[in-house]
Amino acid sequence: MKTIDEMLSLDLLTPAQHTEISAWIDRSATPEEILQMPSALWRAVEKASQVMGIDADLLRPPALDAGGMVAG
């Protein structure tokens, strides 16, 4: 839900789209049910995801030094 909220705060989703998408996710018990979201809502999420570069982030290989990070 954080990503959906961020999409709203960046004006990539309208408040109505955010409400509908959030409600759909909330009432879905499985990922398969989420995938049944109406196509208009999926298009809105996909467009916002492209603008945010989410797909590129998911496809980027992990940093080789990520395991050596020290929390301070």
pLDDT in tens, 8-44: 999 999 999 999 999 999 999 999 999 999 999 999 9
pLDDT digits (tens, 9 = 90+) for 61-71: 776 665 555 55
Please give the model's pTM, rounded to 2 decimal places: 0.73
pLDDT score of 68: 57
Q: What confidence tier does 54 reach under pLDDT thresholds 50, 70, 90? A: confident
Q: Which two three-digit tokens encode residue 46? A: 């996909």
- Helices 2-9, 39-52: axis angle to 10 degrees equals 80
CB atoms within 10 A of CB 10: 11
Q: How far apart are CA 6 and CA 48, in angstroms?
A: 10
**Nearest Cα to 21, choosing from 49, 55, 50, 51?**
49
